[in-house]
């Protein structure tokens, strides 16, 4: 699908959408529990559909009923499809090594996901009893039985490795240790994992070396849960506000969240935009924007949309600590710089980030989403600071996380035309 976005005045608010990060974890914890669990939510996406497919390996299903995902007993599947969801794959691989309803489970997924890093998690699982077919390609088969012990992982590749082990190891007989080598990057995502696990009766001990996990435990369902709304996707509309004359914002965001991407509120204020917070609604409006330096170590998903704000701020913004972005849905350092430079920005890549020299406005142009949902949505928001139209190819990438993005964009005054639908 190709979408043409036209310069338009944006104003108003949109409702927050359910946090994909929380929903992945809540669904998995519910699937590992006996009985039924109801999770209130408001947005389905391709990634969440992948996790729903995956939990069939535990004999569970999730059915959407009246704004809730009802997780209950279902048909056991020997074949699951994680599609393009890195979270689903990296969580489910260690969990399947610890527990499944059949002897062997076959995992399918996209070729691109197969090429994304899975070492050294893969090797650690095999060293501790799992039997997994060749990495780097699908289908991948999982059998064997994970055992307790010491697991060692670097902190700078993916926090999802740590989360996957945390979810799996309580079900293993005997206690285990997860040793983190170096600083654990994106730690807020691990904190979300621990928060969700605690709701299901799991209590993990954080240590100087990483985490201590008591084994032989059972997940216990709290029966009813509410999935909080998402800051990662809210960031696009909050930034739209920071670039607009009128206030634009997002409703129903938890001010006390564990989500690392809630830092978007602080960073947009540092840029110099005007902030309004009332009754869990957060809004921004444009003021004089000035460059800031951004450490993206714990907020890599914010880099695309923050790069847009930096592109039209006075001065030079330096974004660093973002080397892991080269292994996302696209090489996001390259795709961000390529797309925004095509639209009139002045951005240079570094090994671990971007150097962005501000310009007054973008000029518009034609770009590709790189099949990356965050690049697609950043390109759309760029239309509010562009003199000309912006044509975005392969815009359907948004279905990975925010399928109703265009509806919400239209609610605040966004103008666009879809082709190839």
302 closest CA partner among 277, 284, 325: 325
Rounded to 10 degrees, the C-alpha dihedral 221/222/226/228 comes to -80
Is 301 a residue of the active site? yes
* Residues 196 and 26: beta-carbon distance below 8 Å: yes
Q: How far is CA 19 from the centre of its chain?
A: 8
Tokens of 207: 């240590």
Strands 79-81 and 105-108: parallel
**In the chain, what's the furthest Cα-to-Cα distance?**
62
Residue 29: burial class (beta carbons within 10 Å; 0-12, 13-18, 19+): buried
- C-alpha dist (Å) from residue 133 to 125, 143, 196: 12, 9, 30
Residue 256: burial class (beta carbons within 10 Å; 0-12, 13-18, 19+): exposed
CA distance linking residue 301 with residue 304, whole number of Å:
7
Instruction: Name the catalytic one among 301, 368, 372, 408.
Output: 301
Tokens of 366: 């034609």
97 closest CA partner among 148, 27, 30: 148
| Other Cβ atoms within 10 Å of 261 Cβ, number | 22
* Residues 78 and 106: beta-carbon distance below 8 Å: yes
Residues serving a catalytic function are: 301
């Amino acid at each position: 699908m190709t979408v043409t976005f036209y310069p338009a005045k944006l104003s108003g608010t949109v409702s927050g959408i359910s946090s994909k990060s929380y929903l992945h974890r809540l669904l998995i914890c519910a699937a590992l529990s006996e009985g039924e669990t109801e999770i209130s939510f408001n947005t389905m996406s391709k990634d969440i559909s992948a996790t729903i497919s995956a939990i069939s390996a535990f004999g569970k299903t999730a059915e959407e009923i009246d704004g809730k995902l009802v997780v209950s007993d279902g048909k056991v599947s020997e074949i699951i499809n994680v599609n393009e969801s890195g979270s689903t794959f990296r969580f489910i691989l260690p969990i399947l090594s610890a527990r499944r309803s059949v002897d062997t489970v076959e995992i399918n997924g996209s070729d691109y996901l197969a090429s994304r890093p899975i070492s050294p998690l893969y090797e650690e699982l095999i060293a501790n009893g799992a039997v997994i077919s060749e990495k780097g390609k699908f289908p991948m088969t999982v059998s064997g039985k994970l055992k307790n012990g010491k697991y060692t992982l670097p902190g700078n590749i993916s926090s999802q490795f740590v989360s996957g082990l945390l979810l799996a190891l309580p079900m293993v007989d005997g206690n285990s240790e997860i040793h983190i080598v170096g600083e654990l990057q994106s730690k807020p995502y691990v904190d979300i994992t621990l928060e969700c696990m605690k709701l299901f009766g799991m209590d993990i001990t954080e240590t100087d070396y990483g985490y201590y996990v008591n084994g032989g435990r059972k997940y216990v369902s709290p029966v009813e849960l509410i999935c909080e709304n998402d800051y990662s996707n809210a960031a696009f509309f909050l930034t739209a506000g920071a670039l607009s004359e009128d206030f634009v914002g997002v409703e129903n965001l938890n001010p006390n969240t564990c989500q690392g991407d809630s830092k978007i509120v602080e960073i947009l204020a540092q840029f110099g935009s005007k902030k309004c917070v009332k009754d869990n609604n957060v809004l921004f409006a444009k003021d004089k924007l000035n460059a800031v330096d951004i450490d993206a170590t714990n907020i890599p998903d914010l880099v695309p949309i923050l790069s847009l704000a930096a592109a039209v701020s006075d001065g030079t913004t330096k974004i660093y600590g973002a080397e892991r972005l080269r292994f996302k849905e696209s090489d996001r350092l390259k795709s961000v710089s390529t797309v925004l430079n095509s639209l009139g920005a002045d951005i240079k890549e570094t090994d671990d980030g971007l150097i962005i020299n501000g310009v007054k406005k973008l000029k518009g142009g034609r770009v590709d989403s790189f099949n990356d949902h965050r690049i697609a949505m950043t390109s759309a928001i760029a239309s509010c600071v562009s003199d000309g139209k912006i044509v975005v190819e392969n815009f359907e990438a948004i279905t990975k996380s925010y399928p109703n993005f265009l509806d919400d964009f239209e609610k605040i005054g966004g103008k666009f035309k879809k082709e190839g639908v």
